[in-house]
Amino acid sequence: EAGVTQFPSHSVIEKGQTVTLRCDPISGHDNLYWYRRVMGKEIKFLLHFVKESKQDESGMPNNRFLAERTGGTYSTLKVQPAELEDSGVYFCASSQGQGAGQPQHFGDGTRLSIL
Amino acid sequence: GNSVTQMEGPVTLSEEAFLTINCTYTATGYPSLFWYVQYPGEGLQLLLKATKADDKGSNKGFEATYRKETTSFHLEKGSVQVSDSAVYFCALSANTGNQFYFGTGTSLTVIP
């Protein structure tokens, strides 16, 4: 089975520009998550989709970040306008079910560099 | 609140040495605990997990035991190999939500 795929693997943009990250979860996984790791710190939760609905977006840093999951399949995370502090690695994960014991399957991440 | 603290790296070991990476947690309720590994150029892979106190997760020679009394989930391996060089992340999933809480990651380099 194909794993979680993320595109692009690396993006370099200038401050003020817009970037859109894409995540394709494992087929059949209703739960999709976005996380971010900034400058070697801990990986932090951004938001959680169940199918096309946002279940929890408590980790979204501000309104420059917009996540969508139209049709409940792939998801996009748009940053507009990008700021220097948005640099980091953005991970997407998916899981079949919910609950504390459910492992999440991660993609390779998108490394975002804001100049 | 929920949080994970893991030992600072980087850690450098010789091949066949014993490995311990410490992880302690704070959580409301009864969390599940995980170790993920990130090999160079790759994404996070689940290494092992434990869902209740005294459970031992194991995989690829790595082990970790869920210790409720010390709120710990230390990762151990008896004899590391060069191929174990990676960044290791401890994580918890609380029973009150679905998000994972991660530690800062510990970079391990094993030299021949």
Q: Among B32, B51, B98, pick the best mutation site for testing chain A contact (most A Cβ within 10 A).
A: B98
Q: Hey, which residues does A34 pair with through a beta bridge?
A: A47, A92
Residue entry with tokens 């311990």: B20
pLDDT digit string, tens, across residues A13-24: 999 999 999 999
The shortest CB-CB distance from B104 to any of A35, A42, A107 is to A42
Contact B100, B91 (CB under 8 A): yes
Which regions of chain B does DSSP assign to beta strands (E)? 3-6, 11-14, 19-21, 23-26, 32-38, 44-50, 56-59, 62-65, 75-77, 86-93, 100-102, 106-111
Q: CB A101 to CB B4 under 8 A?
A: no
Beta bridge partners of A32: A49, A94
A95 CB burial (10 A radius; 0-12, 13-18, 19+): buried
Residue B26: per-residue pLDDT: 94
User: For residue A5, what are the contacts with CB-CB under 8 A and spacing of at least 6?
Assistant: A23, A24, A107, A108
Distance from CA of B2 to the nearest CA of A (A): 12
**What pLDDT shows up at residue A2?**
79
Say yes or no for a CB contact (<8 Å) between A33 and B99.
yes
Among B100, B106, B107, most A C-beta atoms within 10 A, so best to mutate, is B100
How many Å lie between the alpha carbon of B111 and the closest alpha carbon of chain A? 23
- The whole-number pLDDT of residue A1 equals 67
CA distance B77 to B16: 9
Cβ contact B20:B79 at 8 Å: no
Q: Which of B4, B32, B104 comes nearest A100 by C-beta?
A: B32
| Alpha-carbon separation of residue A115 from A32, A35, A49 (angstroms) | 29, 21, 30
pLDDT for B9: 84
Strands B11-14 and B106-111: parallel
How many other C-beta atoms can be found within 10 angstroms of the C-beta atom of residue B106?
21
Q: Walk along chain B (112 residues) in steps of 10 and give the mean pLDDT of each run.
A: 90 97 92 95 93 95 96 97 97 85 95 96
Q: Which residues on chain A are in Cβ contact (under 8 Å) with B49? A: 101, 103
A53's tokens: 């609905």
Q: A30-87, pLDDT tens digit by residue?
A: 999 999 999 878 999 999 999 999 999 999 999 999 999 988 899 999 999 999 999 9
